[in-house]
Amino acid sequence: MKRIIFIFGFVVIFGVTIAQNARIKIDLDRTIGQIDPNLYGNFVEHLGRCVYGGIYEPGSPLSDANGYRKDVLEAVKGLNVSLVRYPGGNFVSNYNWLDGVGPVRKPRMDYAWQRLETNLFGTNEFAEWCKLVGTEPFMCVNLGTGTIQEAQAWVEYSNANSGSYYSALRKEHGFEKPHNIKYWALGNEMDGPWQMGHLNAEDYVKKAREASKLMRLVDPSIKIIAAGSSNYGRDADPYHWNRSILEGLYPNIDYIALHMYVGNRENNYYDFVTAPMTMETRTQTVRNMINEQQLRTNKRTPVYIAWTEYNVWYRAREGADAVGINALEERYNLEDALVVAGFLNVFVRNADIIKMANMAQLVNVIAPIFTNESGLFLQTIYYPLQLFAQNVKGTSLDVLVDSPVYKSNLSANESNIRPSQQSEVPYLDVSASIDGNEIVICVVNRNKDNAITTDIISQEGSFTGNFEVYEVNGPDIKSMNDFDVTNVKTTKKANINAKGQKIQYAFAPHSFTMLKGKINK
């Protein structure tokens, strides 16, 4: 008689573990919302080698006549980046934008990251770089040590056509036409005591309200992002902060910005890959606050959520690794890429309320692109972001996922830890989108050791034609990339010949997979 034991959704027969089947059910009538292209944004800060030696390196044989790294430009274009947040980050809270424009630049000490800032790269260089990339600039004003008048003047310099002091100054600097920058953030991480010019919630609301008023007097068309929670330490109260910002600024803002970094300090794979579930919980909490405030104000359109900083960050976070020219040069492995894919699934599953996201950061500094003086390589986290940005669009679908589960401590490995709780976690993490009759299904298989054979079922309509299959994977969860070494990448697998209402596919262990094909209703 064979001995059969059921353990966390698996069948064990004579000590051999075989994954049970899972189901993904798709109903085209169950929609969540439109997927905003701004979910695929990024972030450039004056920090380490993100700007100098990253996107900008005058005199390098790899740069164009204006100093922009051509190889980095092409790698950024491959990510289909929709908008780029600039110039910080903690850097911005002691930054005067006037130091970075005009023929004579003023070097200043950057006290956030403990280095000298030459200011050779500033507003105009960034705006021109955005044009080359084909992305939209997103500016963050200094509401730390800066004044509301500085914020107003920056909008005027960037967006006013003519007839004012700062528009004339821009023209004097060689830029006749305005940059027409649409997105403006009211400071960075103002809830964090690490921030220069840190304010409590009430004082931040007062300063941000007046800044937004002045900025919109210059250009009423701009979209404004308030600084929501970034501090989830044991002594912080992010719920009070977010509620205060929404109550005090609701008519004045278009987005509330949230930040989240995670890590695997305890080297516990299964706890680590649950991190996107915490992001989803925080999203739902702020969504409920937004809904409450919308009812109170009778505002037709909601304030949306913008995850303006998110990533894995824990290795290069402290001491010498956090300051100077090589600050925050995190090297990523496969498990990090799976977490990033999970974050992207969260954005798509909440596409009705999350309308902006910015991976932090773009080059060298906790980044998908890593350079040296002679070239670059693509880190593991580049590949899931690329697949989403190039393919996931249209309308997000509310899919049913029936997957084996495992027990895990949620939030156990966040970079700023709150008490964790044990919960059941599905091995399969799924999002789906429909654009016309093209459907894209994105699946992270968190199972480290086993494939999960899955029935993908259409409730109404039929799958048809060849489904393309793309998989991000590597030899093991610790696999990393380096110069001339690519262990983790996107691999195109054999197409699935689809016909009828069901597709079956075995999702490989520790993988992110994207299926792309047609469905006829």
- The class (CATH top level) of 21-32+398-406+427-520 is mainly beta
Active site residues: 189, 309
| 17 pLDDT higher than 60 | no
What integer pLDDT is reported at residue 413 of this predicted model?
A: 53
Average pLDDT over residues 172-181: 98
Least confident of 9-23, 206-220, 297-311: 9-23
Interatomic CA distance for residues 370 and 362, integer angstroms: 9
| 19 pLDDT higher than 70 | no
Per-residue confidence band for 240, with pLDDT thresholds at 50, 70 and 90 = very high
The reply to whether 36-396 shares the fold of 21-32+398-406+427-520 is no
| 1 pLDDT higher than 60 | no
What integer pLDDT is reported at residue 151 of this predicted model?
A: 98
| 18 pLDDT higher than 80 | no
Interatomic CA distance for residues 264 and 415, integer angstroms: 9
Average pLDDT over residues 411-423: 55
pLDDT digits (tens, 9 = 90+) for 243-282: 999 999 999 999 999 999 999 999 999 999 999 999 999 9
Per-residue confidence band for 174, with pLDDT thresholds at 50, 70 and 90 = very high
pLDDT digits (tens, 9 = 90+) for 450-468: 999 999 999 988 999 999 9
pTM attached to this predicted model: 0.94
Across the chain, what does the average pLDDT equal?
93
Per-residue confidence band for 13, with pLDDT thresholds at 50, 70 and 90 = very low
What does DSSP assign to residue 104?
S
Superfamily of domain 36-396: Glycosidases (3.20.20.80)
What integer pLDDT is reported at residue 233 of this predicted model?
A: 86
What integer pLDDT is reported at residue 422 of this predicted model?
A: 66
CA-closest candidate to residue 340, choices 305, 383, 280: 383
Interatomic CA distance for residues 512 and 429, integer angstroms: 9
Least confident of 176-180, 232-236, 498-502: 232-236
Q: Where are the beta strands (DSSP E) in 51-107?
A: 83-86
Rounded (10°) angle between helices 201-218 and 238-249: 40
List the domain boundaries for the chain: 21-32+398-406+427-520, 36-396
